[in-house]
Amino acid sequence: MGRTYYLAPLAGYTDLPYRRACRSQGAHFMFTALIDAGALVHGNPENEHILERGEEEDWLGVQLLGSIPNDVAKSAEMLNEMNYDAVDFNMGCPMAKVLKRPAGAALLYPANHALAFQCVSIIRERVKGKPFTVKMRILNENDPEPTIAFCKRLVELGVEGITIHGRLASKIYSGPVATEVIHVVRESVSVPVTANGGIFSIEDANALAEATGCDRLMVARGSLGNPWIFRELISGVPYRPGHLELCEVLQRHIVGMIEMYGERTGLLLARKITVAYLRGRGYSKKFRVKAGFLSTREEFDTFMQELRVEGPVGGV
């Protein structure tokens, strides 16, 4: 049976231009960046860009973050009426400002389990006609039982799929992925389990699939500045873009951001994206530094002209 690869919902990254870059390399199953329940209910202006879907996007899920039951209920009703192919509930975000609410991975803390299950029940009652899934982290690195029990309860409440990031919230993205915990959970529940964590190459994907037994894998940070990871994963062969190909995809990505957000905001948001494309590919440090100060379309065009001419140190 073939594998299915998903692009993770990455806050501040996986907008429409980002997804288009990944789709250009063969990616199909993707999620929006997470949308905050309160922001959706109260009409935050940023919602438009987070939720925008391209006409060419054949499959797109949306991820909801929240823990205030009333906001979760209203936002779930709103998302159910929108054009998405799945609704996913976030119980994996490890950022401090999210944990304090408590939302994201804080819902995995034993003291918050009742709230977590209440939110899941609320969403399940309101999402109709499309899959409802959950993205979470493990509850214990050494003992799979707490994670198994939690996931079984999710299934009882009607969750149709679970993505598990194999690290504790306290570890954020550091340390090994607890593949054995994911493996045991997969063997213990009746819904599909997607393994998440540490995929930066086809070798990483092979190792995660073998260790967890999962044929559904989610790519997160491995796609930052590297939409070609999907070409690599789908083909099963390592792939490194040439210089001119990188320039073409990078420029199309950033121009898309300028068109979506406007020149000033688009380039402000694009700085980290541009740096990610260049990192680890042999480009002079001066380009990474310049990328951090791009403010106008003219500056970006000049930057790309210089990048194309100079290329990476030593060529490709």
Residue showing tokens 């073998």: 210
Please give the helix or strand (H or E) that residue 141 lies within, else none: none
The catalytic residue among 93, 119, 151, 214 is 93
Instruction: Assess contact for 270 and 231: CB atoms under 8 A.
Output: no
Residue 41 has pLDDT above 60, yes or no: yes
8 A C-beta contact, residue 243 and residue 312: yes
To the query of whether residue 119 is one of the catalytic residues in this protein, the response is no
Say if strands 162-165 and 132-137 run parallel, antiparallel, or are unpaired: parallel
Q: In angstroms, rounded to a whole number, what is the distance separating the alpha carbons of residues 132 and 160?
A: 6
Structure token pair of residue 12 = 């501040």
Residue type, 142: N
pTM of the model: 0.94
Write out pLDDT tens, residues 231-248.
999 999 999 999 999 999
CATH superfamily of 243-310: Putative flavin oxidoreducatase; domain 2 (1.10.1200.80)
pLDDT confidence bin for 2, thresholds 50/70/90 = confident
Q: Is the pLDDT of residue 274 over 50?
A: yes
Domain chopping of the chain, boundaries: 4-235, 243-310
Q: CA 73 → CA 90, 127, 131, distances in Å?
A: 14, 10, 17
Q: What is the pLDDT of residue 314?
A: 56
Torsion region of 104: left, alpha or beta (phi above 0 gives left; psi -120 to 50 gives alpha):
left
**Section 18-30 average pLDDT:** 97
Q: What CATH number matches the domain at 4-235, 3.40.30.10, 3.90.1150.10, 3.40.50.620, 3.20.20.70?
A: 3.20.20.70
SS3 label, residue 285: helix
CA–CA separation, 235 and 215 (whole Å): 15
Q: Which of 29, 17, 31 is nearest to 62 (CA)?
A: 31
306 vs 201: CA distance, rounded Å: 29
The pLDDT of 256-260, averaged and rounded, is 97
Beta strands in the chain (DSSP E): 4-7, 29-31, 35-36, 60-65, 86-91, 132-137, 162-165, 193-196, 216-219
List pLDDT tens digits, range 74-106: 999 999 999 999 999 999 999 999 999 999 999
Share of the chain above pLDDT 90, in %: 95
> What are residue 46's phi and psi, to 5 degrees?
-70, -15
Confidence bin at 228 (pLDDT 50/70/90): very high
Write the single-letter amino acid at 89.
Answer: F
Unique residue bearing structure tokens 């607890």: 178
Of 308, 313, 305, 306, the C-alpha closest to 285 is 313
Q: How far apart are CA 271 and CA 294, in angstroms?
A: 7
Q: Where are the beta strands (DSSP E) in 180-256?
A: 193-196, 216-219
Please report where in the chains the tokens 């159910």 appear, as a residue. 80
Given a cut of 50, whether residue 272 has pLDDT beyond it is yes
Confidence of residue 136 (pLDDT cuts 50, 70, 90): very high
What tokens appear for 4 in the block?
A: 């299915």
Residue 316 binned pLDDT confidence (cut-offs 50, 70, 90) = very low
**Banded pLDDT at 288 (limits 50, 70, 90):** very high
